[in-house]
Structure 1
Amino acid sequence: MRDFSLPPLVEPMRAGGLADSVYDRAEREPGFAQLARRDGPGDEWTTVTASAFRDEVLALAKGLLADGVRFGDRVAVMARTRYEWTLFGYALWSIGAQVVPVYPTSSPEQVRWILSDARVVAIVVEHEDHAMTVGAVCDAAPSLQRIWQLDTGCIRHLVEQGREVPDDLVDGHRRAVTPRTVATVTYTSGTTGRPKGCVITHANLAAECDILFAGWSDILAEPGERPSILAFLPLSHVYGLMVQVFCIRCGVLLGHQPDITPTELLPALASFRPTFVFAVPYVFEKIFRKARQVAVEAGKGDLFDRAADVAVRYAEAVERRDLGEGSGPGAGLRASHAFFDRLVYRKLRAVLGGRVRYAVSGGSTLRRELGLVFAGAGVTVYDGYGLTETTAAVTGQPLGRVRYGTVGRPLPGHAVHIARDGEIWVRGDVVFAGYLDDPEATGAVLRDGWFATGDVGCLDDEGYLVITGRKKDIIITSGGKSVAPQVLEERVRAHPLVSQCLVVGDNRPYVAALITLDPEALEHWSRLNDENPSDPRGALRNEELCAEIQRAVSMANNAVSRAESIRAFRILPAEFSMEQGLVTPSLKMRRAAIVKMYAAEIEELYTS
């Protein structure tokens, strides 16, 4: 199958903009609990009503006008995922300004490029370090006139500055916003070159959120529970930004968690107790690996592994039944599943706060086996696919008909086309308006209403999409064999010890790989094998560890032909990091940068 589409579920946005939902809900339901916030880790969550949030947004919008921000101006926000980010976003949209997200981990060169390319007039930063970064590069951004710093009370100062501005002035600006007005210029991650500014309208974001709510609202919470979501993905990424808008627009209680590391995120999930989770595969992998590690340390590793196996078999049986291909789990499997639910699965669900039964994964494809484990443990993960240019998801798993290992079918009202070379093209209301001031790049990807994603994949007979890689990532060996690295990389990464895997082999006689290990998993392995946990480099020389990684590589090779298999690999002493410029803030590998940095190690793979 080369084409698949679904009829629309919702009407496109006809008038107004995203900020209207804040004012409209405050008018209809002033006491509605719209957000929950806390001052720091361990503090109690306090609710913010719709009317209180509207008042804060309005007061800040007046301050922005008083300080010179005008309709159509671009204002950057460089901060972690926190309440103030959302407050600034809606205040800016209230006066028709455009939000330009900047990752708080961005390098000075990245900040310089975004501020100059977008001609930003002002920027919100979180603290002094961010302010110094901006100050060091502002010479390249002559349009930049203001830097506001959150930890020095910039919101309070702006609100005070705007006290004399009449409310009607903000209302006038807000009413001038139309669906086609630009809401945000969000930059791509830059995995294949310099980041490009994606022009995303109010209608794009509204379509994304309205479609998801119309099609999947029934799984946001159990009957009788109020839906709530803890936003921990970067709001600087279109996925995180969409989650924020989804909650405010659709009346879902929204909390913020700025740190995504397991030591900070897991306690936040336990205290906030969301009913639904939007995450990336990294989060689900970390949760699973941490749960298994705890079980092994308690002497219950075998029990955990048996429980995971039962979860996979149970979820596969349910999958076949839901797709009309089987009768569901048999009596024996149901009994085993009930047994492990009491001993293992309940604890795994508790990590997410105890109330989550459904979740969404995006950013990259969730491994089929991991999706089955979570489903069998009582948390069905709906995998989707999208890009910055598609305002987050453009495909998703249909309700009650999940096909694990795929990224679902096109969102209602959208279409997917597989070009002759295997490239995925998509069409619909979530597709962006183009790249900022770059008609040549825009024309290269927007073709008669279709967006050429640059990804490669296929559609099955039911219209489910399978992603097989990026066009630019395809490796061609010196023997002429074309290899899609993603399949191998994902299978190697399935091993509990492995953190990252980069497959190489362009113009080489065979395929090889650079592999990094998960620091926590390596420390755990070192303790169990009488190695010094504080000497990870020493552990890398351990023959048993190398043999364990060889087994992971051999298992991955079973999925491909011999000509495509990994013949050699190198375990690196540290993970690829954002600080080195080797991964994007959304944790995607920057292949060219990695190949350049590790050129000597790659050469050894072919000369040793």
Structure 2
Amino acid sequence: MREFTVPPLAAPPRAGGLADAVFRNADEDPHRVALGRKDADGHWRDVTAAQFRDEVMALAKGLLAQGVRFGDRVAIVSRTRYEWTLFDFALWAVGAQPVPVYPTASTEQVFWTLHDSEVVACVVEHEDHAMTVASVIDRLPRLSRLWQLDAGGVAEVVASGAQVDEDVVHRHRRAVTPESVATVIYTSGTTGRPKGCVLTHANFMTEADTVIARWEPVFRSAPGDEASTLLFLPLAHVFGRMVEVAAIRGRVKIGHQPVMAAGELLPDLAAFRPTFVLAVPYIFEKVHHAARRRAEAAGKAAAFDRAVELAVRYAEALEQRAFGTGPGPSASLRMQHQLYDKLVYGKVREALGGRVRHAMSGGSAMERRLGLFFAGAGVTIYEGYGLTESTAAATANPPERTRFGTVGLPLPGTTVHIADDGEVWLHGGHVFAGYLNDAAASRAVLHDGWLSTGDIGSLDADGYLTITGRKKEILVTSGGKSVSPTGLEERVRAHPLVAQCIVVGNDRPYIAALVTLDLEAVEHWLAMHGRPPMEPKDLVRDPELETEVRRAVVAANTLVSQAESIRTFRILAHQFTEERGLLTPSLKLKRRAIEEAYGAEVAALYR
């Protein structure tokens, strides 16, 4: 199939902007809990729709008093936290445009974003961010205001607007139309200088309202539950921003968690107890691997592995029934599944807070087997696909017919087209308006309303999309063989001891790989084998560890022909990190930078 369209569910927005939902929610149901906010003692406190509206109004008045005007851009440099959402909606209320910046961005990245977007003010989280902005402020002539969240920035702005009449804010808010620019989000820059994606209020309203209309039934654990989600995705990324908007528009209680590391995230999941989560595959991989390590430490690894196999078989049987290719789980399978639900699967669900029965995953590809395991364990993950340029998701698996290993069907109102060269093209109301200050780059990806994504994929007979790689990441060996590295890397990374994998081989005689280790998993593995802890530099030469990684490589090679297989690999002592310039803030590999940083190691693979 070359093209597939799903009819729209939500009507296109006719008037207004994103901040209107805050005021509408408060008018219609002022006492409903809209957000959860963690206090200084670490306890979650409820924020009602009326309280949130009042805070947004007070901050919006302060922004006007501080000189922010309709159409102005204001940068936000911060981790995910309550104040970011507060600033977003206050800025939208006065017709301004927030420009998100990753808190881990380098000084030059911060400068480029603030300079290119011509921001007039900047919100930073703490003193380090303030110092970063201060170091380049002499090159930012339009920047005239800086507010620091951890130094009373919100209170400072609110206080300045005490004498501003609320009607002034409402006049600004009513001037916002769906076509008004809502935000400029900069791409992560895997292949060059980041570009600013101009996204309108209509883009976000179309995206959010479509997701709500299609997936709202699974936002709750059970009928009658209060829908809630804990937002731990970076709000500097379009996925996190879409979750924020959809939660407010869909009246889903939302909490914020600034750290995606399992050690800090899992306790907050347990305390907040969301009914639905939106995450990246990394989170689900961590939950799975941590569960297995606990089972192994308790001497129950074999039982856990049997439970995993049974969950996969159970979910596959349900999938076959949904697509009319099988009768569903047998009586025996159902009985075994019920037993393991008490012994294993319930504990996996508890790691996500205990109430989650459905989740959405995006940002990168999830291995089919991992999705099947979670579905068999009682948490169905709807994998989707999208870009900043498509305001997050353009496709996603539907609740009633999830095809694991694919990124699902086009969102309602979206068309997916596969070009002659295999590139995925998208059309719909969520497609962006173009790149800021870069007409040539805009013309390169926008073609009469169609977005050429740069991703390679295919549509099956039912319209489900599978992404197989990036056009710019296709490797061509010196023998002329074209290889997409993504599938190989994902399969190697599925091994619990592997943290990252990058496949190399462009203009070389064969395919090879660099592999990094999950040190927490390796520490556990050593302990379970009765071995003392080891330094990272010694791990890379350990023959038993190399054997484990080789198993992962062999498993990956079963996916491809011999000419496309990984012939050799090297284990590295340290992971690729954003701080070293080897990952984007959304954890994507910077291939060129990695190959340059490890030039000697890559060369050694071909000696």
TM-score range, shorter chain: over 0.9
**Structure 1 residues 417-445: Cα deviation after superposition (integer angstroms, max 9, x where no partner):** 00000000000001000000111000000
> C-alpha displacement at 1:535, in angstroms?
1.7
**Matched letter for residue 359 of structure 1:** A
Q: Secondary structure at the match of 1:159?
A: helix
Q: Secondary structure at the match of 1:212?
A: helix
2:520 is equivalent to residue 520 of structure 1: yes
Matches within 5 A, 1:468-507: 468-507=468-507
**Structure 1 residues 147-170: Cα deviation after superposition (integer angstroms, max 9, x where no partner):** 100111011111111011111111
User: Are 2:9 and 2:412, in contact at CA under 8 Å, matched by a contact in 1?
Assistant: yes
CA distance in 2, matches of 1:140, 1:500: 38
User: Are 2:39 and 2:45, in contact at CA under 8 Å, matched by a contact in 1?
Assistant: no
CA distance in 1, matches of 2:272, 2:369: 28
User: Are 2:491 and 2:555, in contact at CA under 8 Å, matched by a contact in 1?
Assistant: yes
1:226 aligned partner? 226
Aligned residues: 606
1:298 aligned partner? 298
CA distance in 2, matches of 1:419, 1:142: 44
**Structure 1 residues 323-370: Cα deviation after superposition (integer angstroms, max 9, x where no partner):** 111100111111111111110000000001111100000001111000
CA distance in 2, matches of 1:136, 1:505: 40
CA distance in 2, matches of 1:530, 1:537: 20
In the superposition, the TM-score normalised over structure 2's length comes to 0.99
CA distance in 2, matches of 1:21, 1:429: 19
User: Are 2:35 and 2:255, in contact at CA under 8 Å, matched by a contact in 1?
Assistant: yes
- Which stretch has the larger CA shift, 540-549 or 442-451? 540-549
> C-alpha displacement at 1:39, in angstroms?
2.3
1:460 aligned partner? 460
1:109 aligned partner? 108
CA distance in 2, matches of 1:560, 1:320: 25
2:146 aligned partner? 147
**Structure 1 residues 9-52: Cα deviation after superposition (integer angstroms, max 9, x where no partner):** 01011000000000111111111111110125x62211111111
Matches within 5 A, 1:64-83: 64-83=63-82
Q: Secondary structure at the match of 1:383?
A: strand
User: Are 1:34 and 1:248, in contact at CA under 8 Å, matched by a contact in 2?
Assistant: yes
CA distance in 1, matches of 2:302, 2:537: 28
Q: Secondary structure at the match of 1:395?
A: strand
2:276 is equivalent to residue 276 of structure 1: yes
User: Are 2:184 and 2:199, in contact at CA under 8 Å, matched by a contact in 1?
Assistant: yes
**Structure 1 residues 497-521: Cα deviation after superposition (integer angstroms, max 9, x where no partner):** 1111000000000000000011111
User: Are 1:526 and 1:539, in contact at CA under 8 Å, matched by a contact in 2?
Assistant: no
Structure 1 unaligned residues grouped into runs of 5+ = none
Matches within 5 A, 1:161-200: 161-200=160-199
**Structure 1 residues 78-125: Cα deviation after superposition (integer angstroms, max 9, x where no partner):** 111111000000110000000100000111111011011101111100
Q: Secondary structure at the match of 2:430?
A: coil
Matches within 5 A, 1:117-136: 117-136=116-135
**Structure 1 residues 458-481: Cα deviation after superposition (integer angstroms, max 9, x where no partner):** 000000000000000000000000
Structure 2 unaligned residues grouped into runs of 5+ = none
**Structure 1 residues 230-283: Cα deviation after superposition (integer angstroms, max 9, x where no partner):** 000000000000101111111000101111110100000000000000000000
**Structure 1 residues 509-550: Cα deviation after superposition (integer angstroms, max 9, x where no partner):** 000000001111111112223443252322222111101111
User: Are 1:80 and 1:235, in contact at CA under 8 Å, matched by a contact in 2?
Assistant: yes
In the superposition, the TM-score normalised over structure 1's length comes to 0.99
2:97 aligned partner? 98
Q: Secondary structure at the match of 1:254?
A: strand
CA distance in 1, matches of 2:299, 2:475: 43
> C-alpha displacement at 1:191, in angstroms?
1.0
| Closer/same/farther in 2, CA of residues 185 and 390 from structure 1, 3 Å limit | same
2:430 aligned partner? 430
CA distance in 2, matches of 1:138, 1:43: 35
**Matched letter for residue 205 of structure 2:** A
- Which stretch has the larger CA shift, 234-243 or 139-148? 139-148
User: Are 1:531 and 1:539, in contact at CA under 8 Å, matched by a contact in 2?
Assistant: no
CA distance in 2, matches of 1:311, 1:32: 38
**Matched letter for residue 323 of structure 1:** F
> C-alpha displacement at 1:586, in angstroms?
1.0
State the Cα RMSD in Å. Answer: 0.8
Q: Secondary structure at the match of 1:416?
A: strand
2:240 aligned partner? 240
CA distance in 2, matches of 1:596, 1:339: 51
